Structure 1
Amino acid sequence: MRHFAVVGSGPAGFYTAEALSKTYGDKARINILDRYPVPYGLIRFGVAPDHQSLKAVSKRYDKVADEPGVDFIGNVTVGRDVSVEELLELYDAVILAIGAPHDRKLGIPGEDLAGVVGSAEFVGWYNGHPEFADLDPPLGGTHAAVIGNGNVALDCARILSKTPHEFEGSDIVGHALEALDGSAIRTVTILGRRGPHQIAMTPKELGELGHLEEASPVVDAADFPPMEADDALEPGHRKSITILREFAGTPADPAKPKRMVFDFFAKPLRIEGNGKAERIIVERTELDENGAARGTGETYEVPASLVITAIGYSTPQMAGVPYDERGGKFRNEGGIIGDRLYAVGWARRGPTGTIGTNRPDGYEVAEQVATAMPAAANSDRAGAEGLKRLLNERGIMPTDYDDWRKIEETEVGQARPGSPREKFVRVEDWLSALGR
């Protein structure tokens, strides 16, 4: 029997557990560990609440968790409750799938002013992440800015621009829905250092912006290269640019009071304000011969009492695990960190790709594990039994998948009309639902 620990219960963790289960069958015991009492990671805390079809992938993960050799062990923080070194003593292999939950910094003056928040914080706030439930973003001003040209930036801008009615059927948490209902924001500026051809926005997310009840997208046609330049783009990217061109050719609807302004070729230089964010000083850019943004010297102001930075994420460092500072991920070669220690997902690649990208990633690492550790050989590692014994000695009370189902049942039961659930946003509330 082999014993494997997968640290992290988001997409990368579940796909890796799925692959290990298929590879080893009844010859392995696979434990999926998570620092929270509930599973799903990015699916629960990162995917936009109005994208329920994406969140439905959790049903696949439920099937993985139902496999006889797979167990969920929640409410355990690796690095605090148990070390990676200790896990390596208990398991044949440890696979780190902890994602990249930390916001990258802009590195400009003023980013520490009140009113400047990272997208991980803002997304966590409206998705019920316990670390960000008390964020209280300033929504009393009329202008907000989102720095970044990826799908996360679009999510943040869209959430700021929707009406309460448009959140029907979503699982946005109650405190965020109430705050957004009272928001005074009427203009959201989306800042990108380069042009439309360099965006990392997908057609589905862009297309949604053309159907909002009270907000119109605004794009300057002068920002685009000649139409024939689109022919060199990948099909999906070309479709995104086509949507942006359509926005540029459509006047903002005067009946809609809100605007989502795409400001391309815009490099934030600093954020200014009297103790809180009031404006961003931006430099106009142009593309050099290598496609990189360079400043032109022309500067202007973008008003914003709320500034959301959506420029990427990084994986937190862990004691004893080599780290790639520049890439914001664990140092690895094809997923291999060291002897019996692996990384998958964003912890391996950095914050790139979609949810589905994690599947081949997890299967590749599972294959490497299987090559190094044939199923035929028996292990003398203690696995889950040893881990739970250690946790008990330290006063840690882990949760399992049955506990999660009880929590889920309670969340579903307290949902507002039309919503699939009302999430708990405190660890103590999750545990209270279990009678602890």
Structure 2
Amino acid sequence: MGPGGACWRGGGVPRGWRRWLSSSAPAPRVAVVGSGPAGFYTAQHILKHHGGVRVDIYEKLPVPFGLVRFGVAPDHPEVKSYGAEDNRVLGIPGENLSGVYSARAFVGWYNGLPENRDLKPDLSCETALILGHGNVALDIARILLSPLQLLRKTDITDGSLAALACSKVKRVWLVGRRGPLQVAFTIKELREMINLPGARPVLNPADFTGLENAVKDAPRPRKRLTELMIKTALEKPGEKTVEAQAAAPREWELKFQRSPQEVLPTADGRRARGVRMALTRLEGSGDSAKAIPTGDVEELECGLVLSSIGYRSLPLDPAVPFDTQRGVIPNSSGRVEGVPGLYCSGWVKRGPTGVIITTMNDSFDTAQSVLEDLQVGVLDVSTSREGFGAVESILRSRGVRPVSFSDWEKIDAAEVARGKAAGKPREKIVDPQEMLRLIGH
């Protein structure tokens, strides 16, 4: 269910299961690999409905919670939502030039993900271009354009805050292959972006003319989202809004029906100076509409390119089946095809879509499969399993000392104390070696 590594043990015993536990049957053991939302929700559901089970959760980092800690924007703590360890590549010339970053790496950088702590993105240009029309793209645009006094109150890392304080970026383009009716962000995030202090929204009225009729019968969330864009694009703002927007030092713009063809290099061939876009037309309607190149192209000048076209899971082990096309483990309700006793949950199960509530329900579905298989005898629990006891001895023989949950609590307390001193909720430690020193490893 996720990338694996360090571990701790969990298990609750509801009153109704006391009699079951007193029988001679050994307690079933479940190992959850990955301590992100999918892992925790799966464990929670199993423990809640089968008090005799013991669950061990394994995590590769010294700190738990996956995307809840590392994937959600620091100014959105209320939604801190084997995750997707990789990002989808653009597959176009120039995407490896300096100044081009994946959304995953950029988000990891400002959220303190250890593997991205040395990213050092160059923010010396005036215009940034984000490829993608999802919530992650909006998150990045908001972080790039937010007033520093707002970011200082969050748990954004100190190094990222220092870099953003020196940033020259004052214009962000959010570019998508399809049209306004296919954007993937949600209304709450869009409204927050429209109301961002010091940043002016730019929506081309021509993109939205006549769309009122097209969304009349659309599902309510899509209808409300489109109506908000139409209002922003077509309605004349009030006097106060006009004054605020005129004084705004920064701006962001939604651009539609453009597909990236090539990241254009500077004269020395080292850095990005822009992106050549193929203009597209839409075939079909609604979410299934396809973007078809028209043959026309356009060059957008920018010095920072961020690709937010989706995350991607990686194969776990040759013994575990993996669909390389879809980037998921083939499964039925979380049961891994052809490998009895192995289950998957979260993005490696269904692909990198949805928000935290989607992952919760998806994890409960997988957990229900485990519970059903325990109940009907598909899983052999007749003999006692050692669980973490066996893993611990293997780790010890390799000189690996795992981080326990109480160790994590020491790291947590240290981060909160450092944050308090700086007037923030926490100051994340981004170096795993420093984390280990802190707990005496």
The answer as to 2:16 corresponding to 1:11 is: no
Match of 1:116 among 76, 96, 100: 100
Match of 2:219 among 206, 213, 234: 234
Residue in structure 2 matched with residue 29 of structure 1 by the alignment: 54
Instruction: Give the conservation status (yes or no) of the 8 Å contact 1:313–1:328.
Output: no
**Offset at 1:375?**
9.7
Instruction: Give the conservation status (yes or no) of the 8 Å contact 1:2–1:375.
Output: no
Instruction: Give the conservation status (yes or no) of the 8 Å contact 1:143–1:186.
Output: yes
Residue 408 of structure 1 aligns to a residue whose secondary structure is: helix
Distance 1:374 1:388 in 2: 29
Matches within 5 A, 1:10-409: 10-25=36-51, 27-55=52-80, 98-224=82-208, 225-249=210-234, 253-273=245-265, 274-289=269-284, 291-319=289-317, 320-337=319-336, 338-374=339-375, 377-409=381-413
The answer as to 2:431 corresponding to 1:426 is: yes
Supply the AA of the counterpart residue of 1:169.
Answer: K
Q: Report Cα offsets for 1:108-143 as digits up to 9, x if no partner.
A: 111111111101100000000000000011100111
**Offset at 1:388?**
0.8
Q: Do the aligned partners of residues 296 and 384 (structure 1) sit closer, same or farther apart at CA in structure 2, a change above 3 Å counting?
A: same
Structure 2: runs of 5+ lacking an equivalent: 1-26
**Offset at 1:432?**
1.4
Residue in structure 1 matched with residue 4 of structure 2 by the alignment: none
- Between 199-208 and 236-245, report the one with greater CA deviation: 236-245
Distance 1:3 1:361 in 2: 21
Distance 2:376 2:55 in 1: 13
Match of 2:418 among 414, 418, 422: 414
- Between 31-40 and 412-421, report the one with greater CA deviation: 412-421
Distance 1:261 1:121 in 2: 23
> Runs in 1 of length 4+ with deviation above 6 angstroms?
none
Supply the AA of the counterpart residue of 1:343.
Answer: C
Q: Report Cα offsets for 1:267-304 as digits up to 9, x if no partner.
A: 11110113111100012111113621111222111111
Distance 1:311 1:379 in 2: 47
Instruction: Give the conservation status (yes or no) of the 8 Å contact 1:283–1:299.
Output: yes
Distance 2:119 2:307 in 1: 15
Supply the AA of the counterpart residue of 2:351.
Answer: G
Q: Do the aligned partners of residues 259 and 427 (structure 1) sit closer, same or farther apart at CA in structure 2, a change above 3 Å counting?
A: same
Residue 268 of structure 1 aligns to a residue whose secondary structure is: strand
Distance 1:329 1:375 in 2: 27
- Between 134-143 and 414-423, report the one with greater CA deviation: 414-423
Supply the AA of the counterpart residue of 1:29.
Answer: R
Root-mean-square deviation over aligned CA pairs:
1.6
**Offset at 1:42?**
0.4
**Offset at 1:203?**
0.7
Q: Indicate the percent of aligned positions where both proteins have the same amino acid.
A: 39
Residue 215 of structure 2 aligns to a residue whose secondary structure is: helix
**Offset at 1:243?**
1.9
- Between 277-286 and 228-237, report the one with greater CA deviation: 228-237
Instruction: Give the conservation status (yes or no) of the 8 Å contact 1:100–1:329.
Output: no
Instruction: Give the conservation status (yes or no) of the 8 Å contact 2:42–2:367.
Output: yes
Distance 1:170 1:144 in 2: 23
Instruction: Give the conservation status (yes or no) of the 8 Å contact 1:110–1:272.
Output: yes
Distance 2:402 2:68 in 1: 21
Distance 2:398 2:219 in 1: 53
Supply the AA of the counterpart residue of 1:278.
Answer: R
Q: Do the aligned partners of residues 226 and 358 (structure 1) sit closer, same or farther apart at CA in structure 2, a change above 3 Å counting?
A: closer
> Which of the two has higher C-alpha Rg?
2
Supply the AA of the counterpart residue of 1:244.
Answer: M
Q: TM-score, normalised by structure 2?
A: 0.87
Residue 246 of structure 2 aligns to a residue whose secondary structure is: coil
Residue 352 of structure 1 aligns to a residue whose secondary structure is: coil
Residue 170 of structure 1 aligns to a residue whose secondary structure is: coil
**Offset at 1:103?**
0.8
Supply the AA of the counterpart residue of 1:237.
Answer: R
Instruction: Give the conservation status (yes or no) of the 8 Å contact 1:171–1:423.
Output: yes
**Offset at 1:101?**
2.3
Q: Report Cα offsets for 1:241-286 as digits up to 9, x if no partner.
A: 1221222135771201111111111111110113111100012111
Instruction: Give the conservation status (yes or no) of the 8 Å contact 1:3–1:379.
Output: no
Distance 2:229 2:329 in 1: 36
- Between 290-299 and 3-12, report the one with greater CA deviation: 290-299
Distance 1:205 1:198 in 2: 16
The structure whose RCO (Cα within 8 Å, separation 6+) is larger is 1
Distance 1:430 1:316 in 2: 26
Supply the AA of the counterpart residue of 1:9.
Answer: S
Supply the AA of the counterpart residue of 1:239.
Answer: R
- Between 181-190 and 354-363, report the one with greater CA deviation: 354-363
**Offset at 1:378?**
4.1
Residue 357 of structure 1 aligns to a residue whose secondary structure is: helix
Instruction: Give the conservation status (yes or no) of the 8 Å contact 1:187–1:259.
Output: yes
The answer as to 2:28 corresponding to 1:2 is: yes
Supply the AA of the counterpart residue of 1:425.
Answer: V
**Offset at 1:238?**
1.6
